[in-house]
Structure 1
Amino acid sequence: MLPTPVLAAALAVALAVPLLGWALLARTQDAAARTRANLTRGLDLPGAAPARPRSRLLPRLARALTPAGTVARLNRLAGAAGRPAEWPVPRLVAAKLVLAAVAAALGGLVVSASPGPPALLMAAGVTGVAYVVPELLLYSRGQERQQAIALELADTLDQMTIAVEAGLGFEAAMARAGRNGRGPLAEELVRTLQDIAVGQPRREAYLALAERTAVPDLRRFIRAVVQADAYGVSIADVLRTQAAEMRLKRRQRAEEKAMQIPVKVIFPLILCILPTLFIVLLGPAVLDIAAAFGG
């Protein structure tokens, strides 16, 4: 008969693999499927397969086991990360539960093999880290996206300034910048124009753009645009001033990173390079001295 830890490990893997497969390979969200169905209703699309009913037991179970605050936090992080299609919120919720369950099962095996406070603390720590891994990955994606937006903002404002001074309106300049751009800022501009096109007020669309991206420089620019629209200030002057300010901030950030390089190099230099250098230079002399005194 197999030992109890082996049976427990097999049971944990048997329960975790189906949930992990669903979390990683699940199809699009129900909201996206409903939106696609509404858009294609009444259209005879060639090669379209008939819709099949989907089981909603696993999504409901995952939502029931996850606090509402965690789901809201994941939704906010997903918005900051641009809502990547491969990481929908239901899949993230399921991934958190699956990773935590697998880590808890493996931690239980470790604790049963060597009982004691250290093993128990290690199992609890690994389980907690596994539970927050999806949030950390999503937060990292959001940070990279915010940095890309902040880096592209100055050039985009320059393009919009040239377009406005050439006679285009502000929204037409936004459309041109979004059409010519390739980064996340261009995607956000296009989405903002789509929100305005479907009937959302311009002020709310601009504020939603600042809320989604959570980039301080872009939020400051949106606030200036909203105030200019409210008080009748020339939008060309606002764009020119904001573009100059963004270029100055980008230069200051580059100078700040350049000044941080010597401080960041100190620790690798002391811990990695200098010991190796001492061994290479002083090692033969130490060996000769030891051989001389030993003989």
Structure 2
Amino acid sequence: MVLVFAFGVILVLVAIGLVALTFGAPQEGGVKRSLAVLQAMTNAPEELTREVDRPFSERVVAPLQQRAYRVGRRFTGADTAARLQRKLDSAGNPGDLTPDRVVSLKVIGAIAFLVIGLVVALVLGTSLPVLALLMIGGLVLGFFAPDLYLYQTAYNRAEHLTRELPDAIDLLTISVESGLGFDAACQQVARNTDGPLSDEFSRMLSEMQIGQSRSQALRSMAERTNIDDVRTFVGAMVQADAFGIPIGSVLRVQSSEIRVKRRQRAETRAQQVPVKITVPLIFCILPCLFAVVMGPAILAIMDNGLA
């Protein structure tokens, strides 16, 4: 019995040893493999980790814009880049946009608004013609949305420039008459004013510093702004520089003329107010007035008729 018991204990120990070897060896090998993988990832060459470490904008957004630009270039003309660059200059280059980015945004906007129109039509449960109309409308709206944005931004910027120009010319006149040169006076305007006019004078001075003449820099500013008052001012400055006319007297005349034009524009807008207010007066104010004044009388007449 003692021998049988000892033999049984030995068998149990052997079985435990085999189980331990069975489950321990693969685990140790798995740990070693995991450590090897981690070490390989840690010591991976820079070429393999560079793609993972790149930001999302470079890995996804930039390739998407490139594909959208290639698609949009097929639907636009050859002079699209020049036209878009003029629009961007008139709008002040918002968001550091380029013509290529605008073309890609047009394609992405068209696809996005097309999907939005489809989703809206499916949610509302419209018929097939309405579905097609919403999808086509979203496609057209998304494609021309960047153009509308640039147009509105350029319009607001032009209004701002038109309002600021008389004050800037007054500051130029005072600076020149106090003994400063024209370039130093323009620097005073760029330093002491805010908004798009200050940006334009700063860009003009930068162009002059990199080698352009004063006439070329002034003409470039007039082309970027595309405003009649700025063109008139630039033309007077270019002629004064070409013929040697004193700049102070030219600035004084330009200041008075531009202020007269601003007053005339204000008077024109004031005269347009009665005409513009006619539509809301007829469709919004008069119906409410008629309802308040004639409503009680109509209700009284209806009560008497029913009685």
Alignment pair present for 1:96 and 2:106 = yes
Counterpart residue number, 2:239: 227
Instruction: Report the identity percentage.
Output: 40
Alignment pair present for 1:114 and 2:127 = yes
Tell me the distance in 1 between the aligned counterparts of 2:223 and 2:146: 22
For residue 105 of structure 1, what is the amino acid of its counterpart? V
Task: Quote how far apart the aligned CAs of 1:187 are.
Answer: 1.2
For residue 198 of structure 2, what is the amino acid of its counterpart? A
- For residues 172-183 of structure 1, the aligned pairs below 5 Å read 172-183=184-195
Counterpart residue number, 2:19: none
Q: Residue 121 and residue 71 in structure 1: after superposition, are their counterparts in 2 closer, same or farther (change >3 A)?
A: farther
State the TM-score, normalizing by the size of structure 1.
0.76
2:95 to 75, 81, 85: 85
Counterpart residue number, 1:145: 157
Counterpart residue number, 1:246: 258
Q: Residue 82 and residue 258 in structure 1: after superposition, are their counterparts in 2 closer, same or farther (change >3 A)?
A: same
Counterpart residue number, 1:292: 304
Counterpart residue number, 1:187: 199
Aligned residues of 2:110 and 2:143 also touching (Cα < 8 A)? yes
- For residues 5-154 of structure 1, the aligned pairs below 5 Å read 54=58, 57-66=63-72, 67=76, 68-85=78-95, 87-107=97-117, 110=121, 114-116=127-129, 119-154=131-166
Q: Helix, strand or coil: the match of 1:200?
A: coil
Counterpart residue number, 1:159: 171
State the TM-score, normalizing by the size of structure 2.
0.73
Tell me the distance in 1 between the aligned counterparts of 2:139 and 2:54: 38
For residue 275 of structure 1, what is the amino acid of its counterpart? P
For residue 63 of structure 2, what is the amino acid of its counterpart? L
Tell me the distance in 2 between the aligned counterparts of 1:85 and 1:125: 27
Structure 2 residue runs of 5 or longer lacking an equivalent are 1-52
Task: Quote how far apart the aligned CAs of 1:65 are.
Answer: 1.6
Q: Helix, strand or coil: the match of 1:182?
A: coil
Tell me the distance in 2 between the aligned counterparts of 1:140 and 1:241: 32
Alignment pair present for 1:201 and 2:213 = yes
For residue 133 of structure 1, what is the amino acid of its counterpart? A
By relative contact order (CA 8 Å, sep 6+), the higher-ranking structure is: 1
Task: Quote how far apart the aligned CAs of 1:157 are.
Answer: 0.5
Alignment deviations for residues 117-172 of structure 1 (CA, whole Å, 9 cap, x no partner): x5434432332122111211111011111111111111111111111111111111
Task: Quote how far apart the aligned CAs of 1:95 are.
Answer: 2.6
Tell me the distance in 1 between the aligned counterparts of 2:118 and 2:279: 38
Task: Quote how far apart the aligned CAs of 1:106 are.
Answer: 4.5
Tell me the distance in 2 between the aligned counterparts of 1:122 and 1:72: 32
Task: Quote how far apart the aligned CAs of 1:79 are.
Answer: 1.0
Tell me the distance in 2 between the aligned counterparts of 1:159 and 1:106: 51
Tell me the distance in 2 between the aligned counterparts of 1:259 and 1:218: 25
Task: Quote how far apart the aligned CAs of 1:266 are.
Answer: 1.1
